[in-house]
Amino acid sequence: MTATFTIDRMGHQGDGIADTAEGPVFATGALPGETVRGLLGDDRRLTDIQIIEPSSDRRPVHSDAYAECGVAPLQHWAEEPYLAWKRSLVVETLRREGLEAEVEATVATPPATRRRLALHARRGPKGRVLLGFKARKSWRLVEITDCPVSDPRLTALLPALARVADPFLSHPKSAPTLHVTLTDTGVDVDITGVEKKSGGPSGDAAARAIAEAAAADLARLSLDGEVLMMARQPRVTFGRASVPLPPGGFLQASPQAEAAMVERTMAATKGAKLVADLFCGAGTFTFPLAEQAKVIAADSSGAAIAALKAGIGTGSGLRTIEAQARDLFRRPLSPFDLKGCEAVIFDPPRAGALEQTRQIADAKAGVVVGVSCNPTSFARDARILVDAGFRLETVTPIDQFVWSTHVELVGVFRR
């Protein structure tokens, strides 16, 4: 049935929503205030959408491919309402947990600054290698030939990266993903998803990939963390330290977003003499914190902790850093382990840090900083701290993944 609707609001998944007496109608790509027409399906979703009356907040898309995939589905929305919507997502999520805080304006991240990509590789027509992202809510690959959110140095490498991926597509069950990271010393690529049960890629395939990586001047090429070729050690700068990033090692997607997180963490913990940095990775927060306090750093990744330790001697004027590899889900640091810590930072994966938060709540630290890529798990963990006597003072949303539906945040708690 063809029907016409006025879009009332933006949903959490980036769909325009028209509220009707029969229930919400979802329109992908529509903006609040727009009049749209389309085919209404049984799932209450419009297809074959036409924009009858566009919003004044509609902007031209930067990339047709990015409009189609799930990486940047909101690039057609003006910055001010888009950033306000991201803030509203955080406010609503906190409210559902009964939490109140000063939620600051969303910190914007410029386009063309993303330094980390996960590119899927598939064999296309006439054997051509396609690199790209999956279409929104689909397994279909959308080829990317330009990348408006990424650092231009990564965009320029797309043809060369396709040639690097080519040898790993020989097995029909292989579905390679290239984890591409721009570091201080060049581009690092770790490839996963290559079929290994039949013996993995042949020596000839590996040799061809290594040759292409060298021709592209990659710093390093690895397969599931096993180094195949390294021209230069990929290194990243955290504070005053230069850290050797392990293959496939985690790095915040945007340097600007990382700087905003570090700035707020440093300000919140200023004056503390001993700080715990939990889920520390290779030291994103550890090294800046060590400029003003002693730091206990813990993470479940042994490779990340080894990288952090290797970076300790590269920075001048740093306080003592005690780094330990520890599964903080199964063996969270206890109040005894956190004895003497005046501040605690935790930056867990999307699932949050339920068990570790319970231990933090029973410790004596007066300040806790939560960094999160998932407002829902953050709010759940925040509830534990608030129930234990902390006040959620401020929350800062950060738009690290430009034009996406994802929002990151930094929350500051004080007793």
* 219 backbone dihedrals φ, ψ, rounded to 5°: -70, -40
Q: Which residue's entry shows tokens 């799932």?
A: 43
413 vs 415: CA distance, rounded Å: 7
Task: Indicate the DSSP class of residue 413.
Answer: E
The encoded tokens of residue 321 equal 């850093």
Burial 262-275 (b: 16+ CB within 10 A, else e): bebbbebbeebebb
180 vs 187: CA distance, rounded Å: 7
Task: Indicate the DSSP class of residue 332.
Answer: P
* One-letter amino acid for residue 210 of the chain: I
377 vs 93: CA distance, rounded Å: 10
* One-letter amino acid for residue 52 of the chain: I
CA distances from 267 to 157, 369, 376, 400 (A): 38, 10, 25, 20
Q: Which residue's entry shows tokens 């392990």?
A: 246
275 vs 368: CA distance, rounded Å: 10
DSSP string, 261-320: HHHHHHHHHTT-SEEEEES-TTTTTHHHHTTTSEEEEEES-HHHHHHHHHHHTTSTT---
Of the residues 69, 147, 341, 373, which is catalytic? 373
279 vs 346: CA distance, rounded Å: 6
Q: Is 373 a catalytic residue?
A: yes
Q: Enumerate the active-site residues.
A: 373
